[in-house]
Structure 1
Amino acid sequence: MSAPPSLEAPPAPADRTERPRIAMPWLLLAVVLLLLAGRFLIGPQSASPAVQTWATIFVAICVQALPFLVFGVAISAAISAFVPASFWTRALPKKPAVAVPVAGLAGAVLPGCECASVPVASGLMSRGVAPAAALAFLLSSPAINPIVLVATAVAFPGQPLMVVARFGASLLVAVTVGWLWLRFGRADLLTIRKPHHDSFVGAMRHDLLHAGGFLIVGGVAAATLNVVVPREWLTTVADVPWLAILVLALLAVLLSICSEADAFVAASLTAFSPTAKLAFMVVGPMVDLKLIALQAGTFGRAFAIRFVPLTFVLAVAVSAVVGGILL
């Protein structure tokens, strides 16, 4: 009886895949520098306010997210290069159902934004961490880390329950999504990329190129929608509770603001209820345009098509319930 065929894809020829990638991170850096130069040199010459606004938002998103993306890629590369796979079997509970909330709580330890969480989660999966646990970490890390919670407290002075509500709602969504993936997720929907390099520099170079391109795609989409969507639409729905929650949740997806700064934007939306503001802060770090692009590029489109709507619906529903109770 013949042996079953191997499920692993054959390795790509090194000459055709690895050599072009050596110079590509420098190309990504050149693109970012050109964007900055275009913003300050070409932008002032443009007579169109819409073009200037688009350029400002696009550059702001990329520049704001890039340091955290590099930080996340560095951690992912360090995990791939220096941490043996056996470490994770000892660090996390053996039962995946227990590992999910532990990984969700671990997100409170690592400072960083949503861009950093995607490559870190990918690195964890490649080292043997259960996908459900890695996904719980992916969602919780940018939402409940110390920097985000301190920023929320500063943005909402005298409102400690807003910090509590954000922490509780975000963690509940992350753990619930992890458990749902553990129960209903299919392995064939999730692309787990094996480390392409054994060295720290090689792994970081590869991951930075891969994630950086999708960050730019997400930045273009977010900047375009920021210019296209009229601000007047927001004020007309602020007095309708459920509609206000849904609109601010969608706005969080479109604006794609870094999680360290979104609390200040939420606080400025004075026409909306505290619960609607909570939805803005819970949804944003878990579902936004640059995140959708990063997740699709890292884990596959089949995964993103299912994961993004699930996370969005749960984030909105949990925010409404938690906000209704605490706020």
Structure 2
Amino acid sequence: MSEPDPDRMRTDEHDQPVNSGHPDEPAEFGQPVRSWRRPFGDRIGSVEVLALLLILLIIFREPVALLISTPRLQTWTTVFVSVMVQAVPFLVFGVVLSAVIAVFVPRSFWARALPRHPALAVPVASAAGVVLPGCECGAVPIAGSLIRRGVTPAAALAFLLAAPAINPIVLAATAVAFPNNPEMVAGRAVASLVVAMIMGWLWLRLGRADWIRLPRRPELDNLSKARAFLAAVRHDIVHAGGFLVFGAMAAACINVLVPERWLQTLADNPVLSVLALAVLAVLLSICSEADAFVAASLSQFSLTARLTFLVVGPMVDLKLISMQTGVFGRRFAARFAPTTFVVAVLVAVGVGAVLL
């Protein structure tokens, strides 16, 4: 009995061609191929969901207006909108810069720009955060793009932590918020830079490559530079933007649910005040360009506690954890965020004891 020829077309008992229904198998002799596509495309994405929500808001605008007229919901809406308004411009900036890195910057550039030894690349990448006028929302997609372009994850993560806290805009805002305490600017810069380097070196020592799961990117190699750039921007905006919305919603809920009188009670205890403002920085999820003014308003707390607020916030907050989960994966965020929180608190307290 002869072996079946794999190249022979499959036929039925009447020697007529038969199609298996697989979407990649062409029809023969005019036989139709079964379609596996859904009526509205391969999948329903966040863009379609957003369009549907906007349509529903237009249809039910009057009931929604009555619903948000209550004071608590007005507060929730104000916090949510403020977080989004602060974060979106810098998210867009970071996404555009990420697309530029992914499409226009060759891999060989990073080999020349950073030291070859990963331990030396960490402080160089941390210091590079000085030149980026953005916040944590923009730094996340940039760090993901750097890893894709061959930068060691330890250096990219150090840049991710340092850039939102030591760039000129943030330091200038801190100086304006604390006109009588210029040491707060130096304390914030030093503590943030030290935390970024420690986390980069910890990743070199303890990190594992399989903890990072970067999302599948669109295929850019067969596109022109302009089309590849637009595809990369659209992909990162849709992917990171959804997690930003989730984090902003969580921060708004926390602002409504946590009573303000608890803060005064905690401020009287030096240890609890530091921990309270560290946790508050995570929950409020304020953009790093604006958090100094919030810290300055918390005058009942010590300068060290407020420095902790300024160091922890740009590195660990709800929206940032959400975005890290979306860009790097859950296994990464579950390990990186808690470790960063502990290191940031310890370093901020140490720097505060020396400089403040």
TM-score, normalised by the number of residues in structure 1: 0.89
Quote the residue 1:178 is aligned against: 200
Quote the residue 1:75 is aligned against: 97
Quote the residue 2:18 is aligned against: none
Quote the residue 2:288 is aligned against: 259
The answer to whether the aligner puts 1:291 opposite 2:320 as a matched pair is yes
By relative contact order (CA 8 Å, sep 6+), the higher-ranking structure is 1
Quote the residue 2:108 is aligned against: 86
Aligned-partner residue type, residue 260 of structure 1: E
**Which shifted more, 29-38 or 154-163?**
29-38
Q: Distance in 1 between matches of 2:181 and 2:257?
A: 33
Aligned-partner residue type, residue 126 of structure 2: G
SS at match of 1:260: coil
The answer to whether the aligner puts 1:213 opposite 2:235 as a matched pair is no
Distance 1:30 1:205, change over 3 A: farther
Q: Distance in 1 between matches of 2:113 and 2:139?
A: 19
Pairwise mapping of residues 28-39 of structure 1 onto structure 2 (< 5 A)? 28=50
The answer to whether the aligner puts 1:134 opposite 2:156 as a matched pair is yes
Match of 1:163 among 166, 169, 185: 185
Distance 1:36 1:187, change over 3 A: farther
The answer to whether the aligner puts 1:190 opposite 2:212 as a matched pair is yes
1:43–1:52 contact (8 Å) kept in structure 2? no
**Which shifted more, 24-33 or 245-254?**
24-33
How far is the alpha carbon of 1:48 from its aligned partner? 2.0
Q: Distance in 1 between matches of 2:152 and 2:58?
A: 40
Query: Mind listing any 5+ residue stretches in structure 2 that lack a counterpart?
Result: 1-23, 25-35, 221-227
Q: Distance in 2 between matches of 1:182 and 1:173?
A: 14
1:80–1:195 contact (8 Å) kept in structure 2? no
Q: Distance in 2 between matches of 1:262 and 1:107?
A: 18
Quote the residue 2:300 is aligned against: 271
SS at match of 1:94: coil
1:21–1:206 contact (8 Å) kept in structure 2? no
Aligned-partner residue type, residue 203 of structure 2: W
Aligned-partner residue type, residue 158 of structure 2: A
Aligned length: 312
Quote the residue 2:353 is aligned against: 324
Q: Distance in 1 between matches of 2:288 and 2:103?
A: 28
TM-score, normalised by the number of residues in structure 2: 0.82
SS at match of 2:214: coil
Quote the residue 1:153 is aligned against: 175
Query: Mind listing any 5+ residue stretches in structure 1 that lack a counterpart?
Result: 1-12
**Which shifted more, 191-200 or 79-88?**
191-200
Distance 1:72 1:211, change over 3 A: same
Match of 2:166 among 115, 138, 144: 144
2:278–2:345 contact (8 Å) kept in structure 1? yes
Aligned-partner residue type, residue 102 of structure 1: V
1:77–1:204 contact (8 Å) kept in structure 2? yes
SS at match of 1:236: helix
Aligned-partner residue type, residue 51 of structure 1: L
1:152–1:163 contact (8 Å) kept in structure 2? yes
Quote the residue 2:32 is aligned against: none
How far is the alpha carbon of 1:38 from its aligned partner? 9.8
How far is the alpha carbon of 1:195 from its aligned partner? 4.0
2:46–2:242 contact (8 Å) kept in structure 1? no
Aligned-partner residue type, residue 324 of structure 2: Q
How far is the alpha carbon of 1:320 from its aligned partner? 0.5
Aligned-partner residue type, residue 63 of structure 1: V
Q: Distance in 2 between matches of 1:137 and 1:44?
A: 45
How far is the alpha carbon of 1:78 from its aligned partner? 0.7
How far is the alpha carbon of 1:153 from its aligned partner? 0.2
SS at match of 1:116: helix
Aligned-partner residue type, residue 113 of structure 2: A
Distance 1:125 1:240, change over 3 A: same
**Which shifted more, 85-94 or 36-45?**
36-45
The answer to whether the aligner puts 1:106 opposite 2:128 as a matched pair is yes
Match of 1:118 among 128, 140, 144: 140
Aligned-partner residue type, residue 286 of structure 1: M
Whose Rg is larger? 2
Quote the residue 2:11 is aligned against: none
How far is the alpha carbon of 1:22 from its aligned partner? 11
How far is the alpha carbon of 1:190 from its aligned partner? 1.0
Q: Distance in 2 between matches of 1:149 and 1:303?
A: 29
Q: Distance in 2 between matches of 1:191 and 1:255?
A: 27
How far is the alpha carbon of 1:194 from its aligned partner? 5.7
Identity %: 60
Q: Distance in 2 between matches of 1:123 and 1:228?
A: 37
The answer to whether the aligner puts 1:66 opposite 2:88 as a matched pair is yes
How far is the alpha carbon of 1:46 from its aligned partner? 3.6
Greater helix fraction, Structure 1 or Structure 2: 1
How far is the alpha carbon of 1:58 from its aligned partner? 1.0
How far is the alpha carbon of 1:191 from its aligned partner? 1.4
